[in-house]
């Protein structure tokens, strides 16, 4: 066993994968970090999948454009897979970088696989490793997206002691396997998570327990908290939260305000950034310091 | 050992005692001429006595003082107390936290730090890995760190950020208080701080145990390691264990090895732990993970928690410190004193 030389890291920072927007990359200090698990928490319809699709596509950009020159693996547990949206985003990427995609289709470097249960996902992990090892594709796999982890766990488990214990043991098993893959192959792993409503406002105790920088998470005017509880929170390295709210703009019109916040991350301060979702993708909004 | 037991003639022993040389120490402190004059013997004879005395006293040292302890390597409480007065601390860079810890994280002890995700466990770990390298001129140990990462939360850019802030603070200190320290300031460089952190990333519990077993050899080769940080000790032990008794055995064996390392090499061991919920009397309570028997494994136990918008650290268990809590904050520059209490005072 030998210690790693920390100085050999390029530019003395962990490698990151672009999320496809310069503002968001700046906000995330370069993008989604390799060798660790980043979680994106949001209620449905906030833009989790949009964000992940864009990440999966951006991975194939060369390092000079913030990517990893790599293909990506998109594991989805929410059906159907938004193939049309992926196509749309890939066309947008192609038109942004016409010189890079003259002869190749960005969609060729995104591998998609559906899973239906947590056990199936556990069985899939060795297959993922084989896929990474034996890839004869143009680009090596460096990004794994799991959209969403919560859907795998929401049906098969009863609310009893033994089932909950089995569930959290599975959390650690999946997270351990993903982290080990991430470390060995330098992968950036992105996992999405759903939210649950907090009943009765800020109830004290376990469910009301504060995790991370934000005292309370609000989305669509409801107080919520990430699904899968405390045990899962211990399994991810960084947690980002995407909220959606009605807001009034300068002209007095109502609009959807989406906001990306850092709940916790070893390398990012507590901060937030407004985002907009357009036909061409997800973009951060430059803001003056409030 | 007393003079009465020296292997010399009875008359010389009598002379020694009557002239006031009752302990070996008093003989070794006297000069050759003095001893010869006091005992009224020739100088060669006196030097013979001194040789005898010094041989006996070194024997004593190597065996431990065998008239006070039966077991080799034993120590009197008095000696331990004296040793503890000179025990070394590693600052946390947060003064309030240092105060309740009696100066910082203690060497020779195993300290466990636990808290919810995002409270700053990894940040404290990184801060300690940097602070252990503060040179003695600035009140540090000038040591190196071993960082065992089980979770993958160790980010190089964050270490660099904290290291740069630490160097800035040191040069500020030397500018303010000690003009003569300018020369040593140049020596510290963020790159050298990174070089002095031995970083191990482990991906399973077998790897973790193997690494802990290997550390003895590693530290023998790298003597100046002064801190071992495991971030976190828990992660791999929360998966794949159907046999909880096996888990407990493995964990306590690992804890014992770490404790042995701590006292053998006089270094600090910091174990970061996660929290979990525990079912007590029909309600759920937060507690550090790995169960009750694990809680015996560490000398000190610090729990980090949120109080409103402030981060607090609480000494949950310690044989020598009183239970107290202190506020700290995680800033871009690392762990620092919390500023919010000052703000309240001003308002």
A28 touches chain B (CB under 8 A): no
Query: Worst-scoring range by mean pLDDT, A11-15, B62-66, B97-101, B121-125?
Result: B62-66
The answer to the question of residue A4 being in a domain is no
Confidence band for A276, pLDDT divided at 50, 70 and 90: very high
How much is the pLDDT for B64?
A: 45
The answer to the question of residue A210 being in a domain is yes
> Do B238 and A172 lie within an 8 Å CB cutoff?
yes
C-alpha distances in Å from residue A116, one per residue of A132, A150, A259: 21, 11, 30
> A269: distance to nearest CA of chain B, Å?
7
**CA-based R_g, chain A, Å:** 19
In chain B, the percentage of residues whose pLDDT exceeds 90 is: 45
Closest CA to B229 of B83, B86, B92: B92
The answer to the question of residue A7 being in a domain is no
Residue-wise pLDDT for A167-206, tens only, equals 888 999 999 999 999 999 999 999 999 998 877 544 444 4
Across the strands, what pairs with A218?
A223
- Chain B, residues 137-196, CB within 8 A of chain A, namely 146, 151-160, 190-191, 194-195
Q: What is the CATH number of the domain that holds A116?
A: 3.40.50.300
Q: Decide: helix, strand or coil at residue B181.
A: helix
Contact list, A230 vs chain B (CB under 8 Å): 116-117, 275-277
Count of domains for chain A? 1
Q: Among A185, A214, A234, A261, which would you mutate to test the B interface (most chain B Cβ atoms within 10 Å of its Cβ)? A: A234
Angle formed at CA B153 by CA A209 and CA B237, multiple of 5 degrees: 75
User: Residues B274, B232: contact at Cβ < 8 Å?
Assistant: yes
The answer to the question of residue A290 being in a domain is no
The answer to the question of residue A8 being in a domain is no
Confidence band for B68, pLDDT divided at 50, 70 and 90: very low
> Do A234 and B308 lie within an 8 Å CB cutoff?
no
In chain B, the percentage of residues whose pLDDT exceeds 70 is: 88
CB-closest option in A1, A12, A168 to B160: A12
In chain A, the percentage of residues whose pLDDT exceeds 70 is: 94
- Chain B, residues 307-346, CB within 8 A of chain A, namely 308-309, 332
Q: Decide: helix, strand or coil at residue A251.
A: coil
3-state secondary structure A56-83: HHHCCCCHHHCCCCCEEEEEECCCCCCH
Q: Among A7, A129, A165, A176, which would you mutate to test the B interface (most chain B Cβ atoms within 10 Å of its Cβ)? A: A176
Range of the domain at A275: 13-284
B220 touches chain A (CB under 8 A): no
Cα diameter, chain B: 86
ipTM for the whole complex: 0.90
Domains assigned to chain B: 3-74 (1.10.150), 83-346 (3.40.50.300)
A14 touches chain B (CB under 8 A): yes
> Torsions phi, psi of A144, nearest 5?
-120, 130
The answer to the question of residue A60 being in a domain is yes
Q: Are strands B144-149 and B225-231 parallel, antiparallel or unpaired?
A: parallel
Would you tell me the crossing angle of helices B205-221 and B244-264 to the nearest 10 degrees?
Answer: 10
Confidence band for A93, pLDDT divided at 50, 70 and 90: very high
Closest CA to A177 of B115, A169, A258: A169
Q: Among B114, B151, B236, which would you mutate to test the A interface (most chain A Cβ atoms within 10 Å of its Cβ)? A: B151
CB-closest option in B117, B152, B332 to A264: B117
The answer to the question of residue A278 being in a domain is yes
How much is the pLDDT for B344?
A: 43
How much is the pLDDT for B29?
A: 75
Cβ atoms within 10 A of the Cβ of B103, count?
14
**Could you tell me which chain B residue has the CA closest to the CA of A38?**
B153
B294 touches chain A (CB under 8 A): no
């Amino acid at each position: 066993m030998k210690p790693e030389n920390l100085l050999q890291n390029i530019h003395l920072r962990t490698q990151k994968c672009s999320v496809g927007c310069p503002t968001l990359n700046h906000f995330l200090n370069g993008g989604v970090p390799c060798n660790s698990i980043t979680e994106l928490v949001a209620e449905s319809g906030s833009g989790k999948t949009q964000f992940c699709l864009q990440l999966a596509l951006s991975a194939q950009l060369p390092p000079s454009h913030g990517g990893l020159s790599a293909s990506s693996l998109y594991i989805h547990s929410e059906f159907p897979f938004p193939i049309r949206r992926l196509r749309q985003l890939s066309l947008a990427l192609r038109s942004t970088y016409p010189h890079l995609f003259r002869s190749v289709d960005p969609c060729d470097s995104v591998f998609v696989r559906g899973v239906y249960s947590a056990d199936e996902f556990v069985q899939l992990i060795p297959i993922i490793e084989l896929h990474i090892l034996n890839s004869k594709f143009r680009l090596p796999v460096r990004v794994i997206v799991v959209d969403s982890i919560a859907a795998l766990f929401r049906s098969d488990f009863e609310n009893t002691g033994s089932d909950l214990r089995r569930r959290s043991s599975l959390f650690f098993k999946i997270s351990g396997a993903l982290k080990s893959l991430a470390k060995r192959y330098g992968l950036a792993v992105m996992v999405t998570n759903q939210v649950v409503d907090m009943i009765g406002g800020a109830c004290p105790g376990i469910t009301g327990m504060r995790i991370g920088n934000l005292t309370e998470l609000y989305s669509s005017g409801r107080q919520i908290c990430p699904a899968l509880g405390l045990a899962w929170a211990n399994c991810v390295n960084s947690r980002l939260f995407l909220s959606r709210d009605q807001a009034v703009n300068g002209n007095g019109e109502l609009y959807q305000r989406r906001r990306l916040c850092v709940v916790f991350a070893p390398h990012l301060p507590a901060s937030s950034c407004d985002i907009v979702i357009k036909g061409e993708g997800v973009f951060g909004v430059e803001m003056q310091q409030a | 050992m007393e003079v009465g037991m020296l292997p010399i003639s009875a008359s010389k022993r009598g002379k020694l005692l009557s002239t006031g040389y009752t302990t070996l120490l008093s003989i070794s402190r006297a000069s050759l001429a003095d001893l010869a004059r006091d005992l009224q013997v020739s100088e060669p004879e006196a030097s013979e006595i001194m040789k005898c005395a010094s041989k006996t006293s070194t024997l004593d040292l190597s065996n431990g003082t065998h008239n006070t302890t039966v077991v080799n390597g034993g120590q009197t409480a008095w000696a331990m107390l004296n040793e503890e007065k000179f025990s070394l601390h590693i600052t946390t860079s947060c003064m309030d936290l240092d105060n309740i810890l009696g100066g910082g994280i203690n060497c020779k002890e195993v300290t466990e730090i636990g808290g919810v995700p995002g409270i700053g466990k990894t940040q404290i770990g990184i801060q300690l890995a940097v602070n252990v390298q503060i040179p003695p001129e600035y009140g540090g140990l000038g040591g190196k760190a071993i960082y065992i990462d089980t979770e993958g939360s160790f980010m190089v850019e964050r270490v660099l950020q904290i290291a740069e802030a630490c160097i800035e603070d040191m040069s500020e200190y030397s500018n303010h208080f000690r003009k003569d320290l300018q020369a040593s300031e140049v020596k510290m460089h963020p790159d050298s701080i990174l070089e002095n952190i031995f970083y191990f990333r482990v991906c399973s519990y077998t790897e973790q145990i193997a690494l802990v077993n290997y550390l003895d050899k590693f530290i023998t080769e790298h003597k100046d390691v002064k801190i071992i940080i495991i971030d976190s000790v828990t992660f791999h032990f929360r998966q794949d264990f159907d046999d909880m008794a096996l888990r407990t055995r493995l964990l306590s064996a690992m804890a014992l090895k770490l404790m042995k390392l701590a006292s053998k090499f006089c270094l600090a061991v910091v174990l970061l732990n996660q929290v979990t919920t525990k079912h007590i009397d029909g309600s759920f309570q937060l507690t550090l993970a790995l169960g009750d028997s694990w809680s015996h494994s560490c000398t000190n136990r610090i729990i980090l928690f949120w109080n409103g918008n402030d981060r607090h650290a609480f000494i949950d268990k310690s044989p020598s410190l009183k239970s107290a809590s202190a506020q700290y904050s995680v800033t871009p520059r690392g762990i620092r004193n919390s500023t919010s209490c000052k703000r309240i005072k001003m308002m």
